[in-house]
Structure 1
């Protein structure tokens, strides 16, 4: 996944350097741009210890439907709201807990960003950069049967705190028709949370988890 993200970034930067001299632009002040596509979330995670000194947790990747709306404030600046259907992730143990399923969790990642569209003198390829704030809402946390067995109780719950952090993005629209585009985008999102393992109504341990995912989305855009 990281290799794919690097390749996408390289293609985008390379295209910026090779653009020609078409003098009109695709996005203008007052336009609204709707983008929809497949979004892949690949955590770049780390965590504190769970039960001992050589264990932790890891969060697996997930793919879902992402969508965003951008209002062009000027010809160069836009304001974007990014959303998605809930992503579901498996959480597993690492170190001495390696191979132990911890549970599953869903999250919603609404993000607001200001975007900059550089003047590349082109209406076919239109790159943009963004910086904003992400709010991650965790929901439907469920402890695995294996974790319940390991802790000797059926009354085991997981509870993750919601997160607020910065988000940076790089994207581009390729025009394929009147007001229609192919879109590709990459985000890096700062997501930090505290996960409580609750056994028989009492918190058995609290784990600091840095998820910090790379997110890649490929889809279509419509400008109107």
Structure 2
């Protein structure tokens, strides 16, 4: 009889403890990173032709300058493996160039929402992969083209997919080092200001490489 009581007590203790273990595996993680942004700078034939006309020779291109930015993200763990990450920064100034000569600038606010899978079988080393969506809002859109056809600027938003790989290396239960790489689909149409006519598309689509700190609550 006493054995049955002991077994029952152990089962009850396990049932009570299970939610506590699960609660410890869920919760909020915050990361702060320095991120280097490398723009793809692809462009369609229309924009390439416009660049050639502006520069007066073939092989010209309109491009965005690579830059270093701060980044903060908030990840919520639904389980020890599954998390949703919101990636934020403040509006970033992006310089636009024609053959390495400054011709204008835009500001880009590019929040992303990513669903992540975290691998948990490597001790303090915790790699992850993610897939999500990016919405970039362009503002302060100075003229980036001024030619015979008139002044042109970019459209005000872009929506694209995000692919992500990275890892956290945890020094303690709460504090760790983060390394993160993302590919962000980002393209915006270039349009004439007077008529709204599209003259091309600038594919920014950056690769972001970041290093920073992780804190798990």
CA separation of 1:205 and 1:214: change in aligned 2, threshold 3 A: same
Structure 2 SS opposite 1:80? strand
Quote the offset at 1:63 in angstroms. Answer: 1.5
| Residues 114-156 of structure 1: CA deviation (Å, up to 9, x unaligned) | 100113241x211111000111111111136xx55x6598xx4
Deviating above 4 A after TM superposition, structure 1's stretches of 4 or more consecutive aligned residues are: 150-153
Partner of 1:218: 211
Q: Which has the larger radius of gyration?
A: 2
The question of 1:102 aligning with 2:103 is answered: yes
Counterparts in 2 of 1:99 and 1:183: CA distance versus 1, 3 Å:
closer
RMSD: 2.4
Which structure has more helix as a fraction of its residues?
2
CA distance in 2, matches of 1:32, 1:117: 14
Q: Is the 8 A contact 2:135 2:160 kept in 1?
A: yes
Asked if residue 61 in structure 1 is aligned to residue 54 in structure 2, the reply is no
Which residue of structure 2 lines up, in the alignment, with residue 117 of structure 1? 118
Tell me, which stretches of 5 or more residues in structure 1 are unaligned? 1-26
Give distance in 2, aligned partners of 1:204 and 1:112: 32
Conservation of the 8 A alpha-carbon contact between 2:80 and 2:120? no
Partner of 2:189: 194
Q: Does the CA contact (< 8 Å) of 1:28 and 1:74 recur in 2?
A: no
- TM-score (normalizing by structure 1): 0.74
Quick one: distance in 2 between partners of 1:135 and 1:152?
30
Q: Aligned pair in 2 of structure 1 residues 78, 152: CA closer, same or farther (>3 Å)?
A: closer
The total of aligned residue pairs comes to: 186
TM-score computed with the length of structure 2 as normaliser: 0.76
CA displacement at 1:197 relative to structure 2 = 3.7
Residue number in structure 2 paired with 1:143? 143
1:22 corresponds in structure 2 to none
Alignment gaps of 5+ in structure 2: 1-22
Question: Any conservation in 2 of the 1:183–1:219 contact (CA below 8 Å)?
Answer: yes
**CA distance 1:45–1:30, change in 2 (3 Å):** same
Partner Cα separation in structure 1 for residue 198 and residue 100 of structure 2: 19
Question: Is contact 1:37–1:218 with CA below 8 Å preserved after alignment?
Answer: yes
Whether the aligned pair in 2 keeps the contact of 1:161 and 1:195 (CA below 8 Å) is no
Aligned equivalent of 1:80: 85
Matches for 1:123-138 after TM superposition, within 5 Å: 124-138=124-138
